[in-house]
Amino acid sequence: MEYLAQGFIKALELLIRGDVSTWSAVLATLKASSWSMGMSLLAGLPCGFILGYFEFPFKRHVRTLVDTLLALPTVCVGLLVYAFISSQGPLGEWKLLFSLPGIAMGQAILAFPIVTAITASIVENIDPDLKLTLVSLGAGKKDIMFTCLWEVRFGIIAAAVTAYGRVLTEVGISMIVGGNIKYHTRTITTAIALETNKGMFADGIALGIVLMAIAFGVNISLSFLRKK
């Protein structure tokens, strides 16, 4: 325990004096996770709403597929993205391998089924009387859809936070697609894995503290939005 305490103290020193490698990993994580969440929300929210709101052929099969994708292993996603954006892949000309946009692409694939599945579940549980009331008041289809989305806004925020948590803590995609390049694509999680393997527990603990701080910040923001 003494060894762990010493590492914790050293971690605080690294953060306070602004260690370049530590804060570089923090910034890389924030950039990649923000971009990936933007992409996954843009694609996942409409898909989740359609899946939960409308009836269409093979809906149950599509829902089963989306639910299955919730358990996507990050290493498999990393391998898939690597195959597409490597120099021999169909997207090799985009030069995304070993870059933050490449990591963001993989993380967006990881977050997409989470946003879609949770949004669909929330929309499916909307009170049927709400729709009937809106129809009786003469609301159009567009108004009904936006009103339903507004009613489940907190659930949608929860879906985004859940997906962000998965993206923030993944290692496989960042390691395979990003390459863990110092000052370039090294994220918090890959840095923790590397520093721990090297026996540099202080650096690992420092990055772990930042990771938890970001997670707490996101949850506090969610609580603040709920109170408003």
Q: How would you write 163-188 as a 3-class SS string? A: HHHHHHHCCHHHHHHHCCCCCCCCCH
Please determine, for residue 75, whether its predicted confidence score (pLDDT) is greater than 80.
yes
Extract the tokens encoding 17.
């004096």
Give the pLDDT band of residue 34 (cuts 50, 70, 90): very high
- pTM, 2 dp: 0.88
What whole-number distance in Å separates Cα of residue 109 and Cα of residue 105?
Answer: 7
Residue 21: which residues within 8 A CB-CB, separation 6 or more? Answer: 182, 183, 186, 191, 203
Q: State the CB neighbour count (10 A cutoff) for residue 108.
A: 26
Instruction: Kindly tell me the burial class for residue 113, based on how many C-beta atoms sit within 10 Å of its own C-beta (0-12, 13-18, 19 or more).
Output: buried
Q: State the CB neighbour count (10 A cutoff) for residue 6.
A: 13
For residue range 92-145, what is the model confidence (pLDDT) as tens digits?
A: 899 999 999 999 999 999 999 999 999 999 999 888 788 778 878 877 777 887
Expressed in percent and rounded to 5, the helix, strand and coil fractions of the chain are 80, 0, 20
Torsion sign, CA atoms 174, 175, 178, 183: positive
Q: For 45-49, what is the mean pLDDT? A: 92
pLDDT of residue 135: 79
What whole-number distance in Å separates Cα of residue 70 and Cα of residue 111?
Answer: 8
Give the pLDDT band of residue 174 (cuts 50, 70, 90): very high
Identify whether the C-beta of residue 40 lies closer than 8 Å to the C-beta of residue 108: yes
Identify whether the C-beta of residue 59 lies closer than 8 Å to the C-beta of residue 51: yes
What whole-number distance in Å separates Cα of residue 221 and Cα of residue 157?
Answer: 10
Please determine, for residue 4, whether its predicted confidence score (pLDDT) is greater than 80.
no
Give the pLDDT band of residue 3 (cuts 50, 70, 90): low
